[in-house]
Amino acid sequence: MDGGRPGLGALRGSRLLTSSPADAAALKVALSAEARANGFSTIGITDPDSITGARERLQTFLDAGAHGDMDWLANEPARRASPKVLWSDVRSVIMLGMNYGPDENPLALLEQKTRGNISVYARGDDYHDLIKKRLKIVARWLIAQAGGDVKVFVDTAAVMEKPLAHAAGLGWQGKHTNLVSRDYGSWLFLGAIFTTLDLPRDEADVNHCGSCQACLDICPTNAFPAPYRLDARKCISYLTIEHKGAIPRDYREAIGNRIYGCDDCLSVCPWNKFAQEGHEAKLAARDELRAPSLAELSRLDDPSFRALFTKSPVKRIGRDRFLRNVLIAIGNSGDTSLATEAQRLLGDENPLVRGAAVWALSRLLSPAEFAALANAADDTDETVQSEWAAALS
């Protein structure tokens, strides 16, 4: 059993589920109880062939280049679009969701310009580690009860979790392409258990978006060219997490104080009125990550960055890309007192950080002050020089 290396390390059991429909139904009820006992909020089962059309939609996305730097999405799309291509022995896909509903409105923090806004999912411990451990517990229970083989996946392998969750009845993919649940709104982490057991299926959920397009209208960068279509290259979550280089100038102002991810399209969904606050302690927001000071974040060196974000998904982008994001937020803050923090980072070792500092200063200093600083600049890195030139033009 392995969530990151499909096809390796499957758990195997010697017992076999009987062919009796009553036995299968009873097992499904017990499986649901076991999943909930391990912190999962919802569970459904679907056929591995249930996501018809997924490959075509994925290929259209890739052909448009909408995946940006996420080259891993383009690797073997056939495996991603079909569980049976990923693992030929799979007979049932068990989809599980864990609620991580916030205890406050994520949109409110956008008004606190000198504070950094970290996406709700990243304010606690890394969900990958937590959910994978829980999936393994449930999978072992299933083997002990009924035998068969299993593999678990949580957002780390070629599995299209959202279409499968839709097919398993956990919710539907909204116009923002994310899963929406009638019970949990936009706030579900997803995990999957593939099994060789033939388990009773659930019905796919129905799309309840109707004429609403609040998620499309609120997007700061217009990342949705059409309902149910995302251009990741414009998405703030992509730009602040997956994108490795300088953030394109066209999107910097729209980023505001979002320093890791963006929850706007999730937060505005009307179905969140039925959402519940998450109760998994390890996923709860840490106080120091709820509304961190941009000034304090700008002073992080690599050891202090790693210490602050221990067990957090934020740590995976590294200190330099994170400070790039912080400096964009500083530039958008309108607080001239933060110019001293940005000016200090003109001397940072990493050109990505230095370039972002140039942009921030161009927004905070008067034209005369910025021109004087530019005249004294002697950075030899071409990317940083291009930032100076663009800011002065």
Under 8 Å between Cβ of 152 and 132: yes
CA–CA distance, 21 with 19 (Å, rounded to integer): 6
Residues noted as catalytic: 155
Tell me how long the chain is: 393
Q: How many CB atoms lie within 10 A of CB 112?
A: 14
With 0-12 / 13-18 / 19 or more C-beta atoms within 10 angstroms meaning exposed / middle / buried, residue 318 is: middle
Under 8 Å between Cβ of 101 and 189: no
For residue 144, give Cα distances in angstroms to 12, 132, 137, 139, 141: 9, 18, 11, 9, 5
Under 8 Å between Cβ of 83 and 48: yes
Under 8 Å between Cβ of 125 and 283: yes
* Helix residue spans in 151-275 (DSSP H): 161-167, 214-218, 236-237, 249-255, 264-267
In DSSP terms, 115 is beta-bridged to: 293
CA–CA distance, 357 with 53 (Å, rounded to integer): 45
